[in-house]
Structure 1
Amino acid sequence: MPHTANRLAENASFQAFANCYIREVDPGVWHIADNWQRQTGISLEHDEPYVLELQLIELGITLGIGVSYRSIVGRHLVTNVYRKQQNPWDWQRVDSVSVIVMMIDNIYAKSQGNRKAASQKLELLNRTLESHQIMQEYLVQRQNDSALDHLGFIESEQSLLFGHWLHPTPKSRQGIHSWQHKNYTPELKASFALHFFAVSRQLLQQNSLIEQSVEQIINQIAEVDCDAIDVDKQLVPVHPLQAHWLQHQDYIQQLLREGLIEDLGVMGKKFTPTSSVRTLYCAELNYMIKLSIPVKITNSLRKNKAHELEPGLNVGKLLAQSDFSEKYPQFAMIEDPAYITVKLPGMQESGFETIIRQNPFTENAINQRATLSIAALVQEPILAGCKTKLTQQVEALAQEQKKSLNTAAQLWFDCYWHCAIDPAIRLYDSHGVALEAHQQNSLITISNNRPSQYYYRDNQGFYLSQSMREQLLQREPSLNQNLDLFYDDDAIADRVGYYLFINQLFSVISRLGQDGLVSELALLERCYRKLTQLKTELNGVGVHFIEQLFNKATIPCKANLLTRVEDVDELEAEQELAVYTDIRNPIFDFHQKAMSRLKAGDDVGEETEEGKNKENEVTLESA
C-alpha cells in the first residue's frame, strides 16, 4: 500500500506542479508524438498523442514531456519525462520529483546571489516536498476507505486528498506538526472539541443578524449554562491549534494575569474540519464555525481578518432585501450571520476572530446525503477501480434516461449551468454583487443523478460594482462601512472570469472531456451559445462582463506558482490579490468564429457540426 500511495502522490504532485509551470512560466512547444519519436528515437511507454518540449534555458536542459490528454481549458495529463542536455540523441528518462526541482532551479537561476530570492527558493522547495509527503501520508491512511466515494457533505469534504487542481503545492500545511494531522485535518477524518476562553465583555466586539445571539450559540457549542460563566465575561471559542499559539503571546499572558481573560481549556461538542481545515462542522448544530489557525495553506496564513467580519453581515442584509432567492431558488448563499472577536488597542486582529456560519447540512437534512463541492466532484478517483464522481453521475443519468453518455453529459452540464453559472452572472448584473465562486467554495446537491441546487460559501469573497455604488449604498447604508468592497467593473470582470470560469466552470468542462464523455469543444460552444442568449436578457453590469469574455483574447488567471515563487501571502497583499497571468481565452475564439459566420450570412444561433461531433483535439496552431 505505501508503494501505491507514493505512486499516486508523486503523480498528483507532478500533474499539479507541471501544469502550473506550463500555464504560468513557459507554454513550451507542442509536438505530435509520432513525429517527436522519429526525431529523437525515444519510444514513449504510454498512449500519448502529444509531447511537450520545454527549454530550461538557464540550466541548458531540454525536457520532453509525454501528454496523454491535452486540454483546452483545464489541465493536461502529463506522463513520462525525458531530459536532453548537450548531445541531441542523449535523451534520458527522469523522475518527476527531479523534474520539479529542475523547474524550480530554472525559475530562480537568474537570481543567484540574491538573498531574498534564495530564501524564497528554499520556501518553495520546502512547501513542494512537504505537500508531496503529506499527500502520500493521507493516501496511505485513506486508500481503502469506501467513504471517499460517498456524495455526503462531510464525506466529500474529507475526500480531497489531491487538493487544489490549480496549485503547485496543494497539500502544504505549514504549522501543523506531523503528529497533529490525525487530530485536525479533514483528510484524516479528525474530530475534536474547541478551546474556550472566558473574556471580559469590555474587550468584546460582536454582531448578529439572527434571533439567537452569538453568546447563546457559543454556549450551546460549549454545552454550558450562562449561570456557569462569570457574569462579566463571555465565552469565545478558538481552534486548539490557535489556542496553543495564543497562549504563547505576551499580550495574552498579560490579559490572563490581569484576569480579563480566563483560559477554560477544551470542552463542548466535537467538530469535524471541512475542506478549508479551519471551518468546522457539527452535524447536530444549525451553525458551522470559522476560526483562525496558525497554519499556511496554499498561499496564505489562514486567519480571519477584522475587516472581513462586518461585510459578510452587511452584504447579507443587502441580499435579504431583494427577491433574488425567490427568482432563483436553485442558487443559495450559505450566510455568515454572526461574529465575535476580542478588540485590543493597537491591534487589527487579536487572534480571536470567530465567524458563525449557517449549516444547511445538519444530520436531519436530506441534502447532506448528496451535496458535495465541485472540487470533490471533479477530483481524480482515489479508490482502485473507481471512476470520478462526475462520471459516475453521468453514467447513472445515461442509464436512467436511456440516452448515450454524450447526451447525458450535456444534460448534466445544462443542469449544472442552470444552478451554478447562470444565477451567479445574473446576481452580479442585477445587484452588483460578484462572488469568488471557485470550485471549493461551490457546493452542488445531486438529485436524480444531476445538479439540482447550488450553494455558495465564503461571505468574505465579495466584490461590489463601483458603477452601482450609489444605489447599493442607498439600498443598504451599512455598506458605507465597507467601501473597500467596491471595485471597478473591469477588475471585477477579471476576477470573476478567473473564479467562476477558469477555476469552477473550466474544471467541470475539463473533467467531462478528460473522462471521454463529451468534448471540451462541444461544451465550450454550448457555453458560448448560453452566454449569447443570456446577454440579451441582461441590462446591467453583467452585459459588460460577458462582453469582456467575448472580446478579450486572453483572460487573467491566478498564478499560484508565481505567487509562491515570490512568497506572497495574498491575504496580506494590497486588495488581497495574488499574482495573476494572462492565458488564452477560449470563449473569445468562439465569438470570433460566430462573428465571421454572421458576416458571411450564416445563422450563429445553431450549434455547429464541429461543436456537435468533433472530438477534443487541439491543433498545434491554437497552443
Structure 2
Amino acid sequence: MGPSARAIAEQASFQAFLHSYLQEIDPGHWLAASQHLHDPGSRFSGSWVCELPLNTQRARLAVDILYRSPVGRHRYGKVRQWLNGRHCWSDIEPFQAMCLLVRELYALSGGMVPELRKLRELEFLHRLTDSYGVMTRYLEQRRHDPRLLTNRFIDSEQSLLFGHATHPTPKSRQGMSEWQQTAYAPELGGRFRLHYFLVHQDYVEQDSDGPLPASTMAETLLNSGHASLNLPDNHALVPAHPLQAQWLLAQPSVLVAIEQGQIHPLGTLGPEFSATSSVRTVYSEQAEWMLKFSIPVKVTNSLRVNKAHELKAGVVMSRLIRQTGFAESEPGFRILQDPAYLTVSLPGQAESGFEVIFRNNPFTPGQDQGVISMAALAQDPMPGRNSRLMDLIEGLALNESRSMAAVSLDWFQHYLACAIGPALRLYDDHGIALEAHQQNSLLDIGGGYPRCYYYRDNQGYYLSETFRKQLTEQCPDLSETPELFYRDAMIRDRFCYYLIVNQVFSVIARFGLDGLIPESVLIRQFRQFLRCERTRLHGPARALVNLLLEDSRLPYKGNLLTRVHDVDELNAELEMAVYTSIANPLRGLAHAAPQPSFPAQAVGADHGAA
C-alpha cells in the first residue's frame, strides 16, 4: 500500500516551500551525506544533506537531498532537527519543519512592528495550512483518475494537483468554500453553467477586435448550448461566473440597479463550462471562446479580478499582434488572443465586478488532443508513476529504436526552437515581451515532439519603451494603454524570470529528475542555443541573452518573500511583487547565497502569481 493522500500532499507542500526558501532566503549548508553527523541507526537516503540554521530557535534542520538539481529543483527526503539543548538529531514531519521555517522567517524580518509581524505570520500559516488541506482533498479524490495522464486539453488543465512547484502555498484558495471547490475548482473536474444578467445598453461597456461586438458574442455563447432568449430592445446579455454572480448579488450598487430595472438576473443558462488551471478562466468544448472572469477568490498571492486597463489591453494587443505580421512569420508560435470584453458600468466605480474577457478557443472537438500546459508537463508524478514527460520520451524511444537520452536531446532542441526562439525574436523585432511562465504556456505534443507553442494571458504583455513610437504608429489605440510600456531593463529581468527560470529550467529539471538525461547536458545545449540566437539578435533581446550567458546571477521572483510581506501583486501599486536574484546555473554557480535576504523590497511591475 502506497502513501496516503495526506502524506503525498505534505511532502509536495514541503517540496514547494523548501524550493522557495533555498532560492530566496538561505541556500543552506551542503554536506555529503557520508560527512554528516547523525545517529548510526538513522541514515539519510540521498547523497547530500542540506542544513538550515534556526538561530532564533537555537536549533537547525537537516534535509535529506534525494536528487540535487543544477537548476535548483531538488528532490527532498526526510527532515531532522537538532536542538542545541539536547545535543541530538530527531526526525520531524515536513509540515512541522515548514512551521519552524516560517517562524524563523518572521523572526528575521525587519521593518515591521511586532503586532503586524505576528498578524502576517498568522496569515501565512493560515494559507500554508489551507494549501496543504486543499491539496490533500484533491489527491484523495483524483489521484487514481486516468484523466490525469491524458493529453486532452481540458484534462491536462485540470491535472495540476500539486500546483506551482516554487510557490510556498501552491493550492491556497481563500474565498472558496468546500462545496464551491467541488463545483468550480479545476482539480476536481466540476462542470457548471454560467449565470447571465440582462442589462440595459446604457450601462453596458464593451469592445471587440473581431467581426462581432462582445454582446453578440455573449448571445452566441448562450446559443451554443441550444438555449436562446428573445432579448428586449436596447438590452444585452452579460455572462458571469457563478462565484462572481453570488458576490455581485450581494453588492449594494448592483441591488440598486436591479431595483431600478437596469439589471435583471436571469440565473444559470446555456452550455456547461469547466475551469481551466487558472480557476477563473473557463472552457466549453462547444464554445468559440473561453471566458476570463473576476472571482472573489485569492489564488496563491492574489485576488483574481479583471482590471479596467486589462480589458482594454486584450483588445489592443490583439490588434497590435495582427499588425506586426508575427503570426505569419512564426506559424509554430501562437498567441491566444483576448479580443473582446464586456462589463457593466455603474456610477463611481472603475470596475463593477461584471468584467468578463473573451479568449479565442482553438481547442474544440477534434482539435483538443495533444495540447498541454508546460506546468502539466513539468509536474511531479504521483508516487510510483511516471511523469508525462517520461511516458512521452519512453514512447518515442521505443518507436524510433533509439536511446532515451538521444530522444531527450532532440525533444529539448525541438522545444527550444518552437517555444523560446520565437519569443526572443518577438521581443527583439517588435519590442513585445511575454509573461511566458509554465501555466501561461501550452505545447502541442500530439506528434510526440513539440510542434506548436501557445501563449495565453492578456495581463502578461510588456512593451518596450524604445519601441513606443513604432508600435503606436502600427496601432494608434496603444495611446490609450500607456501602462503596457516598460523600460527594457525591467522587461529583461521579468522576461528572464518567466521565460527562462520558470519555464526552461523546469523542463531541464524534469528531464533530470526522471533520469532521462543529465541536466548538465541540457544546460550545455541551452547555452549553445543561446549563442546561436545571439548572432541573429540586434535589438533588446540581445541584452537578455548576454545576461543569461555572462552574468553570475539571474533575477528571480520571490514568491515566498511576496507571501511573507503579504503583497497582493495584482492589486498593489504598479502590480509589484518582490524580486531577488539567484545564482545562474548556466554559469555553473548553482548554490551561491540568494540576494537580497531581509528586508526585501517590492521591485517593479509584475502581473501574476507564477
Common fold, TM-score beyond 0.5?
Answer: yes
Q: Contact (CA 8 Å) 2:27, 2:593: kept in 1 or not?
A: no
Q: Which residue in the other structure is 1:346 paired with?
A: 348
Q: Secondary structure at the match of 2:499?
A: helix
Q: What secondary structure sits across from 2:61 in the alignment?
A: strand
Q: CA deviation at 1:43?
A: 5.0
Distance 2:227 2:512 in 1: 55
SS at match of 1:276: coil
Q: Aligned-pair distance for 1:46?
A: 5.0
The within-5 A match list for 1:294-443 is 294-365=296-367, 368-382=368-382, 385-443=384-442
Rounded Cα–Cα distance in structure 2 between residues aligned with 1:346 and 1:459: 25
Q: Is the 8 A contact 1:139 1:161 kept in 2?
A: yes
Given that 1:41 and 1:89 are in contact with CA atoms closer than 8 Å, whether structure 2 keeps it comes out as no
Compared with structure 1, are the counterparts of its residues 88 and 517 closer, same or farther at alpha carbon in structure 2 (3 Å cutoff)?
A: farther
**Equivalent residues in 2 for 1:126-145 (5 A)?**
126-145=126-145
Residues 266-302 of structure 1 show CA distances to partners (whole Å, capped at 9, x for unaligned) of 1111100000011000001111111111000011000
Aligned twin of 2:212: 212
d(CA) in 1 for partners of 2:586, 2:350 = 42
Q: Is 1:44–1:66's contact at 8 Å kept on the other side of the alignment?
A: no
1:603 maps to what in 2? Answer: none
2:33–2:44 CA contact under 8 A, matched in 1: no
Query: Matched residues in 2 for 1:86 and 1:249: separation?
Result: 55
CA drift of 1:250 comes to 1.0
How many angstroms does 1:23 deviate by?
A: 1.1
TM-score (norm 2): 0.94
Tell me the number of residue pairs that the alignment of Structure 1 and Structure 2 aligns. Answer: 591
Matched residue SS, 1:51: strand
Aligned partners of 1:74 and 1:507 also within 8 Å: no
**Is 1:500 the counterpart of 2:502 in the alignment?**
no
User: Residue 9 in 1 paired to residue 9 in 2?
Assistant: yes
Q: Deviations over 1:455-508 (max 9, x none)?
A: 001122100011111111111111011111111111111000100011100000
Task: Please identify which structure carries the higher helix content.
Answer: 1
Secondary structure, aligned partner of 2:292: strand
Counterparts of 1:31 and 1:378 in 2: how far apart (Å)? 28
Query: What's the counterpart of residue 288 of structure 1?
Result: 290
Correspondence for 2:470: 471
In structure 1, stretches of 5+ residues that fail to align are: 591-617
Matched with 2:278 is 276
The 3-state SS of whatever aligns with 2:13 is: helix
Confirm or deny: 8 A CA contact 1:138 1:188 kept in the other structure: yes
Residue identity opposite 1:406 in structure 2: A
Q: Does the CA contact (< 8 Å) of 2:206 and 2:213 recur in 1? A: no
1:276 aligned partner, one-letter code: S
Relative distance call for 1:126 and 1:622 in structure 2 (3 A) is closer
Q: What is the CA distance between 1:109 and its match in structure 2? A: 2.0
Which residue of 2 is the match for residue 256 of structure 1?
258
- Which deviates the most, 430-439 or 469-478? 469-478
Cα distance in 2 for partners of 1:375, 1:132 equals 19
Partner of 1:489: 488
What SS does the aligned partner of 2:365 have? coil
Task: Report sequence identity in percent.
Answer: 43
* Cα-to-partner distance string for 1:388-427 (whole Å, 9 max, x where unaligned): 0011111111112221111111111011111111110011
Mapped pair 1:178 → 2:175: no
Give the aligned residue type for 1:526: Q
The one-letter code sitting in structure 1 at the alignment partner of 2:448 is N
* 1:47 maps to amino acid: S
- 2:606 counterpart residue number: none
| Residue type of the alignment partner of 1:566 | H
Asked if 1 retains the 8 angstrom alpha-carbon contact of 2:205 and 2:344, the reply is yes
Aligned to 1:600: none
Would the aligned equivalents of 1:290 and 1:357 in 2 still touch at CA under 8 Å? yes
Cα 1:621/1:253, change in 2 over 3 Å: closer
TM-score by length of 1: 0.92
Is the CA contact (8 Å cut-off) linking 1:219 and 1:225 kept in structure 2? no
User: CA separation in 1, counterparts of 2:592 and 2:49?
Assistant: 11
SS of corresponding position for 2:287 = coil
Contact 2:582 2:592 in 1 (8 A): no
C-alpha deviation, 1:335, in angstroms: 0.7
CA pair 129-323 structure 1, distance change in 2 beyond 3 A? same
For residues 58 and 466 of structure 1, the distance between their equivalents in structure 2, rounded to whole angstroms, comes to: 46
Q: 1:245 is matched by which residue type in structure 2?
A: W
What corresponds to 2:102 in structure 1?
A: 104
How far apart, CA to CA, are the structure 2 residues paired with 1:418 and 1:458?
21
Aligned-residue offset at 1:221: 2.5
**CA distance in structure 1 between the partners assigned to 2:364 and 2:147 by the alignment:** 18
Displacement after TM superposition at 1:216 (Å): 2.1
Paired with 1:408 and 1:578, the residues of 2 have a C-alpha distance of: 38
In the alignment, is the contact (CA less than 8 A) between 2:582 and 2:594 conserved in 1?
no
The alignment partner of 2:76 has SS state of strand
The equivalent residue for 1:77 is: 75
Distance 2:26 2:135 in 1: 26
2:545 — aligned with what? 546
Indicate the larger mover: 324-333 or 289-298: 324-333
Q: Secondary structure at the match of 2:66?
A: strand
How far residue 619 of structure 1 moved from its aligned partner, in angstroms, is 8.4
CA contact (8 A) 1:73 1:586 kept: yes
